[in-house]
Chains A and B, each alone.
Chain A
Amino acid sequence: MIQTTAVVVGAGHAGLAMSRRLTERSIDHVVLERGEVANSWRTQRWPSLTLLTPNWQTRLPGHDYAGDDPDGFMPVADVVATITLYASLVGAPVCTGTGAHTVRAAPAGFQIRANDDLLRARAVVLATGACNLPAIPAAACAVPASITTLSPLTYRDPGQLPDGGVLVVGASATGVQLAAEIHRSGRPVTLAVGEHVRLPRSYRGRDIFWWMQATGLLAERYDQVDDLTRARHLPSPQLTGTPQATMTDLNTLAAQGVRIVGRLGRIVDGVAQFSGSLANVCVLADLKMNRFLNRADEWATASGLDGELPPPHRFAPTRVDPRTPLELDLTSGEITTVLWATGFRPDHSWLDIPVLDRTGHIRHDGGVVTGAPGLYVLGMPVLRTRASTYIHGAGADSAALAGHLHSFLSSSTRASRSTRGLTKKDAPS
């Protein structure tokens, strides 16, 4: 049995940021990592992926981007290198190859089984990420057996796909990026589109993330956003990490020859049926994009920046072809691959503590897990602010949660001492 004050599960950017915060507060801890540092980035991301956030924004506590391309976007290999470097910079006590097999409540804390070791800790920080498993709709079971199916976690590049048409289901950043890449390989792509988030890569000469930060959007707190459930489940914006690609929206894809269809509903006798709601989800996405651009323009005017920025403009509405098909026969041979870009879900199967809601998500208040004092979660969408969704959000989130964790340790120490008859002034402050 190994005793430690805190255990951080996961050595990605969030777990390592937390490790640094705990070290700053001299809180004894270990970081458990099932594979290597940045494991998901190494093993579960396709090689051409780049971050959506520009390099200048890709920072971790005590470590700002120092390269020569602040306006560029890190490819996944550089993300792995950055996080690996960060682990050594902060001297994180990472046990690699040590997955947490179970975490359960124990007297005065938690018991963690990792490989053959048992650990006891008073606090546990879950930093295993939000994208461990593909969220694949029930319709998937009706895909004909002759069709190759993939998720973004198993996709590497178009070369692994058979020749023939590809149905990409889902139009978040992942879906539009993979649709474009696969279409460029000469395989005709059909993209099934439900609710999505349309944004330009840049606007009035600045990257969209510059606008999101400048207008205060990213700083919006989880307890202030209008509809938190919705905010936490919002698809990622239709962006590509290349400064040249102004838009990776449906108009751009359609112009490249990608066939756009509605949300995939069911597959009956091998025929995929698409929703007739395509026009409305496109109108909704256009309205929301314009609402943000209005906010950006108002902010620019109020900040006196209209003189130095190019003038405001609006993007053409999303065009929906009135002849958009509602069905696609998956048995005709036209489609040989279905790629489920329908989102991800966290894997909490090793968490033996009843803290999940009926949809399998951890109940938490800004990362403080509900009903399990000493348990924290980090690295989830809109955890504490809208920035939490992105790498740099781990900075403020880890600071806040480390502070909470520290107070929790102090108060539970006081509580256990006072039960032994000690007075409160003996407790560490």
Chain B
Amino acid sequence: MTITDSPVDNGVNVQALLGAREALSASPEAAQFTWRASCTWRNGTHSHSTVTGFTGLGAEQQHRVTYEYDVDHPECFASEDNGATPVEYVLVGLVGCLTAGVAAVAQYRGIQLRSVTATIEGDMNVLGILGADPEVRNGFDAVTVRFAIDADASREDLEALIAQSQKRSAVFDVVTNPTKVLVELA
């Protein structure tokens, strides 16, 4: 079954993605993207971030609207809980990225999805961030994602789907591999 003949519709435009892959391979400078967010401190551990534009395809690009995020710590950390914690945003990013990958790979492989839900958990020993135990790292000890997928496909095909979505996921790469981070004063 070719893609164009396929009645499968997960709402993913695979042809456009394949076209982009071909076009960007031919002009690698357009493939260079820069993603951005801006953050303003409110009070205490509460901050407000916005996401508006990014650079890519050789030009400045705009989201349809500006997206806004409140970031805070929970009340058990003596904070006001005005938003999700930063580490929860990391989880949101990872599971959102993997879910998008599941839909795209399913579309490409001709698998019709009826429902996809996922839960994600990150285990963390907070003695690390509290500076109470130098042996404990600040970040997650482990992250577990559990997908429940209802689709016309064998369990093996679904396992292949989530494996391939990890392989192509930007956030999975960000979380599992070291990244050079530079933080400086403006």
Contact = CB atoms under 8 A, between A and B. Distances in A.
B52 interface: no
A178 to B, nearest CB: 24
Interface string B158-186: 01100110110000110111101000000
A276 B175 contact: yes
Contact of A268 (B28, B160, B173, B178): B178
A276 B176 contact: yes
A7 B173 CA distance: 46
Given A263-B177, A265-B178, A287 B28 contact: no
Interface in A282-331: 283-284, 287, 290, 322
Contacts of B159: 283, 287
A262 B28 contact: no
A284 B28 contact: no
Contacts of A277: 166, 172-173, 176-177
A143 to B, nearest CB: 15
B5 interface: no
A273 B176 CA distance: 10
A266 to B, nearest CB: 4
Interface of B: 28, 142, 156, 159-160, 163-164, 166-167, 172-173, 175-178, 180
A232 to B, nearest CB: 14
A280 B178 contact: no
Contacts of A287: 156, 159-160, 163
Interface of A: 195, 262-263, 265-266, 268, 273, 275-277, 280-281, 283-284, 287, 290, 322, 358
Contacts of B177: 263, 265, 275-277
A280 B143 CA distance: 13
- Closest A-B pairs by Cβ, 10 of them: A276-B176, A265-B178, A266-B178, A280-B166, A277-B176, A265-B177, A273-B178, A283-B163, A275-B177, A284-B163
Contacts of B166: 277, 280
A358 B28 contact: yes
Contacts, number: 36
Contacts of A268: 178
Given A266-B180, A287-B159, A290-B156, 7 more contacts: A262-B176, A265-B177, A265-B178, A266-B178, A277-B173, A284-B163, A322-B142
A284 B159 CA distance: 9
9 contacts: A266-B178, A268-B178, A276-B176, A276-B177, A277-B166, A281-B167, A283-B163, A287-B160, A358-B28
Contacts of B164: 284
A282 to B, nearest CB: 10
Contacts of B163: 280, 283-284, 287
Contacts of B172: 277, 280
Contact of B176 (A275, A283, A284, A290): A275
B156 A284 contact: no
B73 to A, nearest CB: 25
Given A277-B172, A290-B156, A358-B28, A284 B178 contact: no
Contacts of A265: 177-178
Contact of B167 (A266, A284, A290, A322): A284
Contacts of A322: 142
Most buried by A among B156, B160, B177: B177
Most buried by A among B160, B164, B178: B178
A266 B181 CA distance: 13
